[in-house]
Structure 1
Amino acid sequence: MNDLLDDIGETLAHLGRSWRRTPAGDRLAVDDLADAELVALNESLGAARRRFDAVHSRIASEIARRSRPEHGAEGLAKKNGYRTPVTLIAATTGTTVGEAAKLVSVGEATAPRRMFSGEDAPARHPFVAAALAAGEIGMPASSAIITMLDRIAMRVDRPTLDDAERTLIAQAHGLALDQLAKVITRAEAYLDPDGLQPHESEMRQMRSLRFFERDGMLCIDGKFDPVSGAPIRTAIEAVVTAEFRNEADQRGAGGASADTDGVDSGADAANLDGTAGPVSDRARGPLGDDSRARTVAQRQADALLQLAEHLLGCDSTDKPIDGPTVIVRMTLADLESGTGVATIDGVAQPISVSAARRMAASGGVIPEVLGGESEILDWGRRKRLFTRAQKLALAERDGGCVGCGLAPGMCKVHHLRWWARDLGPTDLDNGVLLCESCHHRVHDNGWEIRVEGTGVAARVWFIPPAHIDPRRTPRPGGNRRFSYAPAHAA
């Protein structure tokens, strides 16, 4: 409780320094704050909120305990005019029933358990309880971790569950909830690979695609399991990515050489018809509007239109695009044994090895098995652009953009030591995958990237500028941040 009061006091002090007296009255003058003070205030509010989450979840679990059915009409919720403790909490705090239920669930999982003897036993999830009480994670992250661990608890031994609980808490730091959800999804596949096949069968039965008209628009509503959805997503993203790159090539045609930015420009990306290089009319969309005015969602809709038009009008081939492929990754040991898991680039949900084998029999799918030695992965100064084999290896090491986790197909290869300025080689330990946004963030805001080790097992670190962290403490990037990384496998 003292820690909570300290956080509240620090937050109130920050708010007090931000309060301004004006002729119109007192106000929170956030628009007058310096950048560092605004960021510090946001972090202070976040820390206080996480502390409040810990206290609120504990209170919610106690309300639920005093409202149990055996108490009948004397239960706390019913005495206060509510049917259940969840509805009481939702109504009195102004939240949703779902959020109130999560508060109760987290509170019950992290509160000391009352034994028949009247003594307290440790919480069911003691590591989440400690992290929540310390303000390291909040209620949403705690709920996501607890829900997954409880789901597989009957099929995984206790020491493994404890190790997973500690690992996920450590990885949750600095991740948004949707990013953590991807890590948890991969953790569940790692911990319970036998549960993948039944789940895949359920998802296959749930796949659907329907068309309907609303307000004069043709609407498409669909959902696909990872195996059937991956080729669809890959094809559409390939068209959109090639379009963005062609537009960038056209804009930079009269400017500085691409060598100066240290990035593989993506000039080897195929157009829709399989040819390389920019298309002169690509500056306009298929419906005649200016590409620069289209959103990503509109570009994806246009990509689907282009694929359909190409397939309907193509006499020479049954492939609407040439070049983009679905990458399915697995270890050689898993491939040989038929057990374990595989992953699809750009899809968070892992798949079973048997599903990966089925995908490998399809066209446009590359089953990447670690351990092959058929390609040269280091070229030194002989080539400026990274080869396809190198890009696949970097995608295996980085998992996508090392900054934000965007799928490999949406990234470019960045020379850490630039090709022209620093005479940097086109080698794996001098390259990282970066999306366009993170590439600019690295260059414009003073971030540095360091690669430790060699090959796909190397570790990528981000070093923040001094104005963000005076100690410039390295932060993990790539796979180590966005994939499940148990301590014994690090």
Structure 2
Amino acid sequence: MDAAETADTLVALTRAEAKLAELKARVAAHADDLHVGQEVGASSAATWLAHTTNTTRPVAAGTVKLGHSLEQHPLTRDALAHGEVLADQARVIIHAVDQLSDDVDTERAEAHLLAEAAHHDAKALRVLGKHLFEVIAPDEADAREAAILEAEEKAAAKACHLSMYDDGHGKTHGRFTIPTALAGAPLRKALFAIAGAEHQRLSPEAMGQALCDYIQRFPAKKLPTNGGLNATMLVLIDEDSLMGRVEKAGTLDTGEKISPSAARRLLCEAEIIPVVLGADSEPLDVGRGRRFHTRAMRLAMVARDRGCRAEGCDRTHGLHAHHHTRWADGGHTNVRDAVTLCHWHHQRAHDTGYETTYRLDGSVAFHRRQ
């Protein structure tokens, strides 16, 4: 085939694929009505279809759902059966129409979106679907749009989440869901600004690098404090390695190792605080002069303890400075007579229902009193 024949064939195959998708969805819905798979103990026709064809369950369930949805939307079913719309377009149209109230002309709305499908893909149709009232009920459009946006924002706030994990090979992976208007759009704008992008498209690699720059540039002083410190990251490295005289890995206060070159690169733009116990430049012991530990003391303790010192605890964030001897009982405020504990174990240390034991190795043990 020459270029023209190849192009025509691709278009024809796409339309044929749409026709087949309608037929498959229609048969899948019929199979669901007949409870196909019940004879072999399948919980549903979708489960049976997934197992029999090695399809994922969400995809099989989506096929059955599309078939049932098309039964309620004959205009869209007919357009899909004739290859006039694609399966993803059909799903968007059905969803948009189903969001309308019963007091509006849904058939007119469906016909409008079907006509727009000839010029727009599924993503653009989704946007148009939010403005259906401007076509079928213009007098109510503004109020309807405001209600839809408010509902979407509430749903987005509830769905907000972030998951991260370290793969053990120097890379952290993650997924997140955030509200578009209040967080997604500002984040995208910030990343584009950092990347210096003149166009509205960046590669995933460029976006990832911009995110790293964003994290490293964000001033820690603007973050809320927890346990007397904000989210200050400590890079612990020998002076010889810092100055380049030897090559020795550094350590973050959260326990992760960092190459000497990366540590030196970070420290070029960071505040350098020498954590040397007893150094004249750091007042690490103020005796009874004050109750709460200074920022310098807390940083020194974090550098020394590398996390909560309670036995069996591996928490490294949001640590509190705790006096061995309570300040109210005559204890002194310094690094030597203090220990870092997480919020949970700090509460246990002040809970009279527990006995606290400070061991020689610096760890802390808790035992419930009888």
Q: TM-score scaled to structure 2, two decimals?
A: 0.48
Higher RCO (Cα < 8 Å, 6 or more apart): 1
Bigger Cα Rg: 2
